[in-house]
Structure 1
Amino acid sequence: MPTPHIPRPRPRTLLGVGIGVIIGAGLSFTVAVYADKERSGVPLEEIQTFSQVFGLIKSDYVDPASDKKLMEGAINGMVSALDPHSAYLNPKEFKEMEVFTDGKFGGLGIEVTADHGIIKVVAPIDGTPAAKAGIQPGDLIVKIDGKAVQGMSLQETVDMMRGKPGSKITLTILRPHQNQPLTLTLIRAIIKVQSVRAFLLAPGYGYIRISQFQDNTGAETRRAVEGLEKEAGGHLKGLILDLRNNPGGVLGAGVETANTFLNHGLIVYTKGRIADSDMQFKASGPDYLHGAPLIVLINGGSASAAEIVTGALKDDGRALVLGQRSFGKGSVQTVMPLSNGGALKLTTALYFTPAGCSIQSQGIVPNVEVQPANAQLRALDGDLLKESELHGVLKAPSECAKLTPQYTLALPAGAEAKAPTALTQSEKQDAEAALSESITQKPDLAKDYQLREALAILQDKQVPVQVGKETVEERIPLPKAVGQ
C-alpha cells in the first residue's frame, strides 16, 4: 500500500526512531516587519530578545560567527525543543534519508536516538556491520574515532558514522552492567538490508523475521508467506512473525504488512491538530495465511511500524502477541520538502491501534509475557531503551495504559535466578551471540526460549503458565481469523 497522499508537499511518512533538527525561515530583526502580524500570535517580545542575542553574538563573541551558523543553530534549538523525533534535514541528509527507506545506503546499519546529549542505540539492523560487531540496544555511544560526542547534535553524530564503504570507524560505547567502556572497530559498508527472512521451523509451521520496514517489505512478506506455503506442501498450519528489535521504517510498508494477514478491519488511525493529519488505514485483504494461526514476537526493541503491525493484528483478533512490552514510539513524522532542497521532519500526529490505544510512550502489551530464559539475555532485555525515557517525549493519555498480559510463562527450571548486576565480557558476548543468531539466521529453538514457547503454543501444546506462585501446564488459546 503506498504512503497516503496528503494535500501538502509531503512525499513520505516515516516511523523510524529519531534523527534531529531545523526548519528553514527568513527572519528580519526589526519589530516593524512583524507589527502587522501581532494579531496572528507572533511573539514580538521573544523575537526582540532573539534579535538582541543575535546582535550581541555577532559583535562581541570571541570568534566571528557566520549568519548561516547562527541561524541554523537557532532553528536546531527550536525544533529540538519539541520532541525527540522532529528534525531538519539539509539537502544531503534528505537525499540520504530517501536512499535509506529504499533499503540501500552507506554506513553502519544502526538506529540511534539522542537523550540529554547522549547518543543511545535503539537497535542494530540485522546483517549490518553494527549487528556483526555486537552493538546492542541500550548501548551508549560516547566517542566516534576518539572524538567525544557529548554536546553534538544527533545529526552530526550520524554524519560522522557515515562514510566511504570499506573505511574503518572506531566506536567507544558504554554498556549497562559493564564497568569498562568497549572500543569496537567497524568497516563501513553499503547497507543492502534484507528486511524479510523466512524459514520452516517444523513441518507445516513457518517463521518470518522482519528486521525493519522498507518500501518493499509488504510485498516481500507476501512472497515469503507464499514461499513457505509451497515449501510446506501447499498449506501452513501456523506462522510466527518475529518483530523483535525491529526499529520501524516506512508507514505504508507497515500497513501493507498488517494487511497481508487481514481480510478486513481497521489497521491504525492517527490524530493531530490539523485536519489532514487525521487518517484511517483499513485492511482490504486477502489474508495470505488463509486464517491459519499467527503469533507475533516483540520485545523492548520493537518500535514504531513494528508496533503498528503488532497492535493491528492483536486488536483485530488475528494474532497472539508474545514477548515483552514494546518500545512505545507512536508519533507520526511528516516529511515536508523545503525550497532549499532539504526537508522538515515534523511530528504531526499520534498513532492509535484499532481498539483506541495510544502507542506513544506506552508501547504494545503482549497477550503472553515471556522473559528470556538466559540470565544474560534478561539483563540485555532490561537495558533496552524505551520511548518514555527520552528527553522531551510526547505523552499520550490512554485508557489502555493499565493493560497487562493475560498470561505469563514460567521460566524453565534453573533459570529463575536473578540476573547479575555485572556481567563478565565473556557472558556478554555469549548473550549477544545468542540474541544475534536468533534473529539473523535460521533460528535455533534450543537457544531461543521465546521462539520455542511460541512454536509450542502454535502447535497446541501445553506450556508452563505462572499462576500466582504456582506453575501450571496448560494450552493457551489462539485467536481465530474472522470469517475463516
Structure 2
Amino acid sequence: MSHFHRLTPLALALGLLVGSPALQAAPEPVAAPVENAKAPLPLDELRTFAEVMDRIKSAYVEPVDDKTLLENAIKGMLSNLDPHSAYLEPEDFAELQESTSGEFGGLGIEVGMEDSFLKVVSPIDDTPASRAGIQPGDLIVKIDGQPTKGLSLMEAVDKMRGKAGSKIVLTLLREGGQPFDVELQRAVIKVKSVKSQLLDDGYGLVRISQFQINTGEEVGKALAKLRKDNNGKLRGIVLDLRNNPGGVLQAAVEVTDHFLKKGLIVYTEGRIANSELRFNADPADASEGVPLVVLINGGSASASEIVAGALQDHKRGVLMGTDSFGKGSVQTVLPLNNDRALKLTTALYYTPKGRSIQAQGIVPDIEVARAKLTREQDGESIKEADLAGHLGNGNGGADKPSGKKSEKPARPQDDDYQLSQALNLLKGLSVTRGD
C-alpha cells in the first residue's frame, strides 16, 4: 500500500512501499549482487525441485505446462519472504509504473495483508474508495461475494481492478462489528498529490495525499502561494499526512527539506551497496521556520513516516494524531526480461536519530483521536451593550451588542476535530512567540 519513485526513467527503482502492488520509488539503480550470491547451488534441493515438477507434470489430474509451474514456483519463493516482495507480471509492472505518475485505474485504495486478511491501509483522497467512506483498518472479507481469505495480495488486487465504470461490491469488517457491503464504481484514478488553502488569517494547510514524482516541487509552490495569499507572511502551517500511503522516496526527502535548513533526513541500510543511502537537508527553508504541526494517523505509511520521523527528530514540528502504520522497509524494483520484474525488500530506512519504525510506526507528540464535531447553537442572550443607558467604553471603539451573527463559509477545520486541534495549537504557539 504504497508507492515509490523513479529517478531513472524506467530503470530500477528503490522505493518505500506499504504493501500495495501499486506504488514504488527509486533513487538509485540496482546494486551489484551480494558476495554470497556466488555460493554453490544446493544441488540436492534442486534435484528435489526437478523431481517434484516432473511428478506434477506426469501425475496431476489435469495437464500443467512448464511455464505455469515455473511461474508459480517463482511466486512461491517470494510469497514467504515478506508482505512487500512480489513477482510482477507485465500488467502488474506497468500499473506500478503508472501509479508513481499520479494516474491509474481502480478504486483508489491501498491495501496490505495482516494475518492472512486483506486490510485497508488507506483510501486515497477524491477516489471511489474515499467517497464511499472506506477507512484505514477496515478488513476486506469478500470481493463480489467471494471470500478473500487465502488469496495473495496480488490476487486480491487483481480482483479489485477492472474496467473504469464497472461496479464492484466489497464486504468490509470494521472494528469488530458486523460485516457490511459497499458498492463502488471503478474509475480512472487521477491523484492530485498536494492541496493547500488558508485555514484562518495567517495559518495555512498543506495536504499531501501521496508522494509522487513532482510532490516536492508542488509543496514548494503551495507554500509560496499560501504566503502570497496572506500578504507575504505565514504564522503557522499544518502539514496533513493522514491516510497518505507513501510513494516516492525522493519526494519524501524533498518535502522534508522544505522545512529544514540542515541535518540528516533519512538513511537506509541493506546488504547491497546501493541500498545504503543518506539524504541531507540543504540550507534553504521554503517554510521560513514558521510553527509547524504535522497530522498523522494509522493510514500514514512509508514515505509519510519518513517525513514525520525526520521532522520529529529535528524538533521542527509537533506531531499530532495517532500512531502511524509502521512500514519501514525499502523495496527495489528489479526489471526482468519479458516486461516482468521483481519487487524485492532490500533495506530498512531509519530516521535521523537511528529509529527504525518497521512494525512500530511513529508515535505522535500529542495524541488526538479522530472524533466528530458537533456545535451547540448559541441561544438568545443580552449583553451590556443592549441595555438602555449603558456606559460607553472609555478605550474607544464601537459597542458590541448581541445580534444575529453573519453566516461564515464552511472551513475544513469546522468538521475535522484533529485539524481544528492542530490549528488551535498553532495559534497557541504563535501567541507564545509573540507573532
TM-score range, shorter chain: 0.7 to 0.9
Give the direction of change, closer, same or farther, for the CA distance of 1:148–1:371 in structure 2 (3 Å limit).
closer
1:138-197 alpha-carbon deviations (Å, 9 max, x no partner): 122222223333322211221221121111122222222312x22221111110011111
Match of 1:34 in 2: none
Deviant stretches of 4+, over 4 Å? 2-6
Give the direction of change, closer, same or farther, for the CA distance of 1:95–1:338 in structure 2 (3 Å limit).
same
1:370-404 alpha-carbon deviations (Å, 9 max, x no partner): 223459xxxxxxxxxxxxxxxxxxxxxxxxxxxxx
Match of 1:167 in 2: 166
Match of 1:13 in 2: 14
Q: Give the Cα separation in 2 of the matches to 1:166 and 1:38.
A: 47
Cα pair 1:19 1:87 within 8 Å, conserved? no
Question: 1:18-417 maps to which residues of 2 (within 5 A)?
Answer: 18-19=19-20, 40-179=39-178, 181-374=179-372
Q: Give the Cα separation in 2 of the matches to 1:183 and 1:3.
A: 34
Residue 449 of structure 1 pairs with residue 429 of structure 2: no
Cα pair 1:261 1:285 within 8 Å, conserved? no
Deviates more, 1:444-453 or 1:154-163: 444-453
Give the direction of change, closer, same or farther, for the CA distance of 1:62–1:281 in structure 2 (3 Å limit).
same
Offset at 1:461? 6.4
Match of 1:31 in 2: none
SS at match of 1:445: helix
Q: Give the Cα separation in 2 of the matches to 1:301 and 1:246.
A: 6
SS at match of 2:81: coil
Q: Give the Cα separation in 1 of the matches to 2:428 and 2:173.
A: 43
Cα pair 2:17 2:329 within 8 Å, conserved? no
Q: Give the residue type in structure 2 aligned to 1:120.
A: K
Cα pair 1:300 1:327 within 8 Å, conserved? yes
Q: Give the Cα separation in 2 of the matches to 1:3 and 1:348.
A: 15
Q: Give the Cα separation in 1 of the matches to 2:100 and 2:333.
A: 13
Offset at 1:135? 1.3
Cα pair 2:372 2:416 within 8 Å, conserved? no
SS at match of 1:88: strand
Q: Give the Cα separation in 1 of the matches to 2:76 and 2:248.
A: 26
Cα pair 1:142 1:174 within 8 Å, conserved? yes
Q: Give the Cα separation in 1 of the matches to 2:348 and 2:102.
A: 25
Cα pair 1:260 1:285 within 8 Å, conserved? no
Give the direction of change, closer, same or farther, for the CA distance of 1:177–1:48 in structure 2 (3 Å limit).
same
Give the superposed CA RMSD: 2.6
* Residues paired across the two proteins, number: 381
Give the direction of change, closer, same or farther, for the CA distance of 1:115–1:41 in structure 2 (3 Å limit).
farther
Q: Give the Cα separation in 2 of the matches to 1:110 and 1:371.
A: 22
TM score, norm. by length of structure 2: 0.82
Q: Give the Cα separation in 2 of the matches to 1:19 and 1:317.
A: 31
1:70-112 alpha-carbon deviations (Å, 9 max, x no partner): 1121111111111111111112211111111100011110001
Gaps of 5+ in 1: 21-36, 376-441, 463-474, 479-484
Q: Give the residue type in structure 2 aligned to 1:124.
A: P
Match of 2:396 in 1: none
Q: Give the Cα separation in 1 of the matches to 2:411 and 2:92.
A: 36
Offset at 1:5? 7.0
Q: Give the Cα separation in 1 of the matches to 2:319 and 2:20.
A: 29
Q: Give the residue type in structure 2 aligned to 1:97.
A: L
Offset at 1:38? 12
Q: Give the Cα separation in 1 of the matches to 2:296 and 2:209.
A: 12
Q: Give the Cα separation in 2 of the matches to 1:229 and 1:123.
A: 30
Cα pair 2:6 2:100 within 8 Å, conserved? no
Q: Give the Cα separation in 1 of the matches to 2:37 and 2:349.
A: 34
Q: Give the Cα separation in 2 of the matches to 1:95 and 1:210.
A: 24
Q: Give the Cα separation in 2 of the matches to 1:352 and 1:178.
A: 36
Give the direction of change, closer, same or farther, for the CA distance of 1:102–1:203 in structure 2 (3 Å limit).
same
Q: Give the Cα separation in 2 of the matches to 1:124 and 1:141.
A: 13
Deviates more, 1:264-273 or 1:366-375: 366-375
Q: For the pair shown, which has the larger CA radius of gyration, 1 or 2?
A: 2
1:403-433 alpha-carbon deviations (Å, 9 max, x no partner): xxxxxxxxxxxxxxxxxxxxxxxxxxxxxxx
Offset at 1:218? 0.9
SS at match of 1:459: helix
Q: Give the residue type in structure 2 aligned to 1:205.
A: Y
Cα pair 2:5 2:249 within 8 Å, conserved? yes
Give the direction of change, closer, same or farther, for the CA distance of 1:39–1:85 in structure 2 (3 Å limit).
closer
Offset at 1:39? 8.1
Cα pair 2:195 2:207 within 8 Å, conserved? yes
Q: Give the residue type in structure 1 aligned to 2:182.
A: L
TM score, norm. by length of structure 1: 0.74
Q: Give the Cα separation in 2 of the matches to 1:4 and 1:281.
A: 16
Q: Give the residue type in structure 2 aligned to 1:341.
A: D
Match of 2:385 in 1: none
Q: Give the residue type in structure 2 aligned to 1:289.
A: S
Cα pair 2:199 2:412 within 8 Å, conserved? no
Q: Give the Cα separation in 1 of the matches to 2:330 and 2:311.
A: 20
Q: Give the Cα separation in 1 of the matches to 2:354 and 2:18.
A: 22
Cα pair 1:19 1:86 within 8 Å, conserved? no
Cα pair 2:5 2:212 within 8 Å, conserved? no
Gaps of 5+ in 2: 22-35, 374-409
Deviates more, 1:237-246 or 1:280-289: 280-289
The percentage of counterpart residues that share the same residue type is 56
Give the direction of change, closer, same or farther, for the CA distance of 1:265–1:232 in structure 2 (3 Å limit).
same
Deviates more, 1:76-85 or 1:154-163: 154-163
Give the direction of change, closer, same or farther, for the CA distance of 1:53–1:286 in structure 2 (3 Å limit).
same
Q: Give the residue type in structure 2 aligned to 1:58.
A: K
